[in-house]
């Protein structure tokens, strides 16, 4: 693999700040802040996972076994908030921090100090959110969707939760602004927009989504706050307000939020599959346009989450067809991944296994999403375990699997060491089998009529719940293997080369492993041969 | 497609000298390059921050007007 002249320059100027506080708390380095995001996301993944295990333990058998219903509701609410805002989103922001500047040949993010601030808001936001579990009345229990009037019936937790959400929003918006400013202004000469890696494209589009919808969530929860403490009655029917309006505003944020969590995953998988298929990505430009189309469509489908509130037939039809339309660009992506694999010289290292697992299992989640888009069917499926199965296939075997794939793919670049491939494969197979044992039976539970967010259920649902819980614990404990592999790789192991993978292409693979503290201080001179998409005709 | 502001990343070292001089293109020093790049990044930041604030207050204002 060709190297840039910047490597030698960087080798001699790898000055990390000395001292823990200087290096990690005051850091303005994109790699260190990326590491902070990823470590934070891993901790939140374990916290949110522990909450999921409490939920699954309670549901192991019918009847109330371990926790009281109020605490169960707090667990379902907090599990979602922690996993969405604390684990999946920060993990992708961490990946963006680490990889976007390396992929476009930039020396750092455009605004390094704001980058530091974006990260350090997060621990305080989640500290505040988790503290609600210890205040009188406990944490929020009305579901992550915070629908009024239920969400306003909480005790002291309401103000704390809303303030925590505001802080998460500020962090996300600042991170998104930084990513856009970096991609638009800091690309190395020759790194045209349509030569950028797909991961960078996916993040550019995701960042625009974040800026468009996080303020909507902030506005919605601000109105909730004033309803609770200043009696404004935005959503209070007794005061002339409309609780359904909250649902519209929430889902105007909430549906694009789903794509905020999945578009970067598409980007990751689009980097990994060509590497291990040893072929260029099939249909590069189609992938870019498909990502943009999905982002656009995400703004016009929000009401499919609330068909059952009652809306005019025309509205139901519009949102049904608009939702189904998303299958077209998503199908383009799946087709292109499969076409990239086709006749490729494939090997199945752990990142590739997770990426292929993503393609198969995410597609299952996509298909059940299509089922939910059908209005008359949705009246049956709404608020059942079918919905729970659907979005966990999208978010766990979709987003989380892609994060795992990304971690294995780039870990040698981050640490300078190869991970233990045997353990990595064990991690994949344990996760892939257990996650299906966990979530697949939930489709049947939902179709049989088991509602979501309940701690007790009819004995008719006992068998599938027991299977699901066994799968849940197996999946949960399998992730401890991942923690061990990351720890082991960070501490040492076989030295990684700059290129790491035989089929790897792109600027990030031209710098040594581990990537020096400062890279591309002088813009690299790029020739198309070193880029994954450099020879794309456009 | 050309990258906008891409030229700001060129420094004296990298640009081919004679053709540029012939065309009368001013080659920027390293510090000028960094300054222009920083100014462009700040413009992007303020525009995007403005959009975010507009959406936030716009949604609350529409909520107030709906009352």
Instruction: Enter the pTM of the model.
Output: 0.91
Q: How close B38 gets to chain A, by Cα (Å)? A: 7
**Whole-number pLDDT of residue B24:** 52
- In the structure encoding, which two tokens stand for residue A280, read together? 């260029």
How far from each other are the two terminal CA atoms of chain B, in whole angstroms? 47
Report the alpha-carbon distance of residue A263 to residue A291 in Å, rounded.
7
Q: How close A414 gets to chain B, by Cα (Å)? A: 26
Q: Which residues of B touch A186 (CB under 8 A)?
A: 9, 37, 41
Average model confidence (pLDDT) across chain A: 93
Contact A198, A271 (CB under 8 A): yes
- Please check the confidence at residue B36 and state whether its pLDDT lies above 90: no
**Whole-number pLDDT of residue A531:** 83
Q: How confident is the model at residue A12 (pLDDT cuts 50, 70, 90)?
A: very low
Q: Which residues of B touch A111 (CB under 8 A)?
A: 41, 45
Q: Which residues of A touch B3 (CB under 8 A)?
A: 187, 189, 191-193
Closest-CA residue to A523 (of B54, B45, B3, B55): B3
Give the number of beta-carbon pairs within 8 Å between A and B: 99
Q: Kindly indicate whether the ipTM for this predicted assembly is greater than 0.90, answering yes or no.
A: no
- Segment (H or E) for A38: helix A30-58
Q: Which of B3, B7, B42 to mutate: most A Cβ within 10 Å?
A: B3
Report the alpha-carbon distance of residue A105 to residue A524 in Å, rounded.
6
DSSP string, A272-291: HHHHHHTSPPTTHHHHHHHH
Contact A515, A414 (CB under 8 A): yes
Report whether the peptide linkage leading into residue A336 is cis, meaning its omega lies within 30 degrees of zero.
no
Chain-chain contact of A212 with B63 (C-beta, under 8 angstroms): no
**Which tens digit of pLDDT belongs to each residue from A39-64?**
999 999 999 999 999 999 999 999 99
Distances in Å between the Cα of A311 and the Cα atoms of A111, A147, A194, A234 are 45, 18, 42, 20
How far from each other are the two terminal CA atoms of chain A, in whole angstroms? 25
Chain-chain contact of A219 with B55 (C-beta, under 8 angstroms): yes
Phi and psi angles of residue A495, each rounded to the nearest 5 degrees, phi first: -65, 140
- Please check the confidence at residue A11 and state whether its pLDDT lies above 70: no
Phi and psi angles of residue A451, each rounded to the nearest 5 degrees, phi first: -70, 155
**Whole-number pLDDT of residue A383:** 96
Question: Could you tell me if residue A269 is left (phi over 0), alpha (psi between -120 and 50 degrees) or otherwise beta?
Answer: alpha
- In the structure encoding, which two tokens stand for residue A474, read together? 């197996």
Distances in Å between the Cα of B60 and the Cα atoms of A160, A226, A282, A302, A466 are 20, 11, 44, 19, 45
Q: How confident is the model at residue A6 (pLDDT cuts 50, 70, 90)?
A: very low
Contact A507, A102 (CB under 8 A): yes
Report the alpha-carbon distance of residue A176 to residue A163 in Å, rounded.
20
- Please check the confidence at residue A18 and state whether its pLDDT lies above 90: no
Contacts of A380 (CB under 8 A, 6+ apart): none
Provide, rounded to the nearest whole percent, the portion of chain A with pLDDT above 90: 89
**Whole-number pLDDT of residue A536:** 56
The HSE-up count of residue A180 (CA atoms within 13 Å, CB side) is 21
Chain-chain contact of B51 with A180 (C-beta, under 8 angstroms): no
């Amino acid at each position: 693999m060709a190297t840039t002249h910047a490597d030698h320059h960087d080798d001699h100027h790898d000055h990390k700040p000395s001292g823990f506080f200087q290096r990690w708390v005051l850091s303005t380095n994109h790699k260190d802040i990326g590491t902070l995001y990823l470590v934070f996301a891993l901790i939140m993944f374990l916290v949110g996972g522990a909450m999921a295990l409490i939920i699954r333990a309670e549901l192991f058998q019918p009847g109330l076994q371990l926790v009281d219903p109020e605490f169960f509701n707090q667990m379902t609410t907090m599990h979602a908030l922690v996993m969405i805002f604390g684990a999946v989103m920060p993990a992708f922001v961490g990946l963006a921090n680490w990889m976007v500047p390396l992929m476009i040949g930039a020396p750092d993010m455009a605004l390094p100090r704001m980058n530091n601030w974006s990260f350090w808001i997060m621990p305080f936001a989640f500290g505040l959110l988790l503290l609600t579990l210890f205040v009188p009345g406990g944490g929020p229990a009305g579901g992550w969707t915070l629908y009024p009037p239920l969400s306003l019936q909480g005790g002291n937790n309401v103000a704390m939760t809303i303030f925590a959400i505001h802080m998460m929003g500020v962090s996300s918006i600042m991170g998104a602004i930084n990513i856009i400013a970096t991609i638009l202004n800091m690309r190395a000469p020759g790194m045209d927009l349509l030569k950028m890696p797909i991961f960078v494209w996916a993040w550019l589009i995701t960042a625009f989504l974040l800026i468009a919808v996080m303020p909507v969530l902030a506005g919605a929860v601000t109105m909730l706050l004033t309803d609770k403490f200043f009696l404004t009655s935005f959503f209070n029917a007794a005061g002339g307000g409309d609780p359904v309006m909250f649902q519209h505003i929430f889902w105007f944020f909430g549906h694009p939020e789903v794509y905020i969590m999945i578009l970067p995953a598409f980007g990751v998988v689009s980097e990994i599959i060509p590497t291990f298929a040893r072929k260029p990505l099939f249909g590069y430009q189609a992938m870019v346009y498909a990502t943009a189309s999905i982002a656009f469509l995400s703004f016009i489908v929000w009401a499919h989450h609330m068909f059952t509130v009652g809306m005019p037939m025309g509205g139901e039809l519009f949102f049904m067809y608009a939702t189904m339309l998303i299958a077209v660009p998503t199908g383009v992506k799946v087709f292109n991944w499969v076409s990239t694999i086709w006749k490729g010289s494939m090997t199945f290292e752990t990142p590739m296994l997770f990426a292929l697992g993503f393609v198969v299992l995410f597609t299952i989640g996509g298909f059940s999403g299509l089922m939910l888009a059908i209005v008359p069917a949705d009246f049956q499926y709404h608020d059942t375990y079918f919905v729970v199965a659907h979005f966990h296939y999208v978010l766990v075997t979709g987003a989380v699997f892609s994060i795992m794939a990304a971690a294995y793919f780039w870990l040698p670049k981050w640490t300078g060491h190869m991970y233990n491939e045997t353990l990595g494969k064990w991690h994949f197979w344990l996760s892939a089998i257990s996650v299906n044992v966990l979530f697949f039976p939930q489709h049947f539970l939902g179709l049989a009529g088991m509602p979501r967010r309940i701690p007790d259920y009819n004995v008719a649902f006992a068998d599938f719940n027991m299977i699901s819980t066994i799968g849940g614990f197996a999946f949960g404990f399998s992730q401890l293997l991942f923690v061990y592999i990351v720890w082991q790789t960070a501490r040492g192991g076989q030295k990684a080369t700059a290129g790491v993978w035989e089929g790897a292409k792109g600027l990030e693979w031209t710098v040594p492993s581990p990537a020096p503290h400062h890279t591309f201080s002088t813009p690299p001179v790029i020739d198309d041969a070193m880029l994954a998409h450099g020879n794309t005709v456009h | 497609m050309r990258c906008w502001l891409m030229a700001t990343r060129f420094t004296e070292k990298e640009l081919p000298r004679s053709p540029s001089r012939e065309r009368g293109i001013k080659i920027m020093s390293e510090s000028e390059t960094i300054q222009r790049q920083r100014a462009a990044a700040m413009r992007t930041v303020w525009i995007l921050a403005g959009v975010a604030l507009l959406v936030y207050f716009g949604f609350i204002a529409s909520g107030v007007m709906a009352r």
